[in-house]
Amino acid sequence: MTKKTDTVVIGAGPGGYVAAIRAAQLGQKVTVIEAEHVGGVCLNVGCIPSKALITAGHRYQEAKDSAFLGLKTKEVELDFEQTQKWKNEKVVKTLTSGVAMLLKKNGAEVIEGRASFTGKNSLAIQTKKGPEKLEFKHAIIATGSRPIEIPGFAFGGRILDSTGGLNLKKVPKKLIIIGGGIVGSELGGAYANLGSEVTIIEGTPSILPNFEKDIQQLVTKKFQQRGLQIFTDAKAKKAEETANGVLVEFETKGKTQKIEADYVMVTVGRRPNTDDLGLERAGVNVGDRGLVTVDEQYRTTTKSIFAIGDIVPGLALAHKASYEAKIAAEVIAGKNVAKDYRAIPSICFTDPEVATVGYTLAEAKEKGIKAKTANFPMQANGRALSLNATEGFVRLVFEEETELLLGAQIVGVNASDLIAEITLAIESFLTIEDIALTIHGHPTLSEMVMDATEVGLGLPIHM
């Protein structure tokens, strides 16, 4: 028997479940097909659980070393089994069950299974109970991505992807991470704070290669103070399991080295999940690197089918996928909407945190814009001092003539939250004077944004 629906959403991650809810809110009969877990990678084995482990690492370090506050602890123990239980049951389960409830509340039917297109308006679904058929008027593909496996490091046993790295039963005494990008640096910092001896092997000249040099240097310095060992310009060659761990061979500066650890985690990037969907049967064009070709409304080369998230060009970020989800769902509902944003924030939850949005100074100049920067240091902010978190800065990028805000780079405590104000300012075409004239609460970290604008105006109060 063939089921019928108005809109089918393939994948229930931050793109898929948001698309399904918005489509249902706008009057569509919605069916969601999810192969693994509602909430997708982000909620189950990505963004959310990794932040839980990062928080646990911070709390552990604070408990061990708060003598500067007059807080003295004789002995601090880490029960990692309890940490994982809290992460899985109180954080992940709470969020994923909440998403499932929201889908149900909005009338979206969820089918557990794997979907593949059989035509431009039809799907075959493989479920645990057997095959099903579904006909639809519109489809939104939100199948996300998976970790890249590199030669010599086949996943299994003590060779982990990020999912395996998040679900270890014990904190490893020694951990090797291949890839020092955002995921590798976040998890490397988390496990170092939890007590592991962490080694990061990165193929480029620095960890966090997509951020500016002074940001890379600041995070690297803090990592090294925490005891992390970092090899850059290095090529991982192979890993071999030993009696008690895994031996990793890599090459750096023309020399081959070997390091043994309990586990090796490979975090060199992700690839889109588009290869097993039968997209060719639906007339959907797939371009470079498996990414689906879409227009400004996220419509594919087949008018009735849309694609969002990690499987389309652009940054592979959960919040980008959620934005795209709303656009696609609203287009299907007949609204005249399209992609319309000036900047997307990018965040890395290392220690210290990093957050950027819009242009860097170099990018602005590449676009032919005469731009300037204004920096304000964390150490000059009262709230940062009271948090004992004075490493880092707020840097604003603005057009020299008009003082229009173009971008920002923040490194330091709560950078992930501070970037929101600047993102809104860029979207609203505000100048640095507009922010300078806005009263900010005191004492807060957000005052640094105001202080940075005053530096840019040549009228700094706190510098």
Residue 358 annotated in ligand binding? no
| Residue keyed to tokens 């998230």 | 309
How many Cα atoms sit within 13 Å of 280 on the Cβ side? 3
Residue 295 annotated in ligand binding? no
| Nearest one of 385, 56, 373, 415 to 218, comparing CA atoms | 415
**How many whole angstroms separate alpha carbon 160 and alpha carbon 179?**
12
Sort 303 into a burial class: Cβ within 10 Å, 0-12 / 13-18 / 19+. Answer: exposed
Residue 40 annotated in ligand binding? no
Q: Is 442 a catalytic residue?
A: yes
**How many whole angstroms separate alpha carbon 233 and alpha carbon 211?**
16
Residue 50 annotated in ligand binding? no
Residue 310 annotated in ligand binding? yes
Residue 157 annotated in ligand binding? no
**How many whole angstroms separate alpha carbon 304 and alpha carbon 141?**
11
Residue 163 annotated in ligand binding? no
Residue 143 annotated in ligand binding? yes
Q: Which two tokens stand for residue 323?
A: 């934005």
**How many whole angstroms separate alpha carbon 80 and alpha carbon 219?**
26
Phi-psi label, residue 13: left if phi above 0, alpha if psi -120 to 50, beta otherwise = beta
Residue 186 annotated in ligand binding? yes
Residue 185 annotated in ligand binding? yes
**How many whole angstroms separate alpha carbon 96 and alpha carbon 59?**
24
210: helix, coil or strand? coil
Contact 101, 110 (CB under 8 A): no
Give, in degrees to the nearest 5, the angle at Cα 27 between 25 and 31. 80
**How many whole angstroms separate alpha carbon 67 and alpha carbon 428?**
45
Residue 456 annotated in ligand binding? no
Spot the catalytic one: 138, 319, 442, 462. Answer: 442
Residue 144 annotated in ligand binding? yes
Residue 97 annotated in ligand binding? no
Contact 34, 28 (CB under 8 A): no
Residue type, 140: I
Residue 65 annotated in ligand binding? no
Phi-psi label, residue 243: left if phi above 0, alpha if psi -120 to 50, beta otherwise = alpha
Residue 184 annotated in ligand binding? yes
- What are the binding residues for NAD(+)? 179-186, 202, 269
- What are the binding residues? 51, 143-145, 179-186, 202, 269, 310
Question: Which sequence positions are flagged as catalytic?
Answer: 442
- What are the binding residues for FAD? 51, 143-145, 310
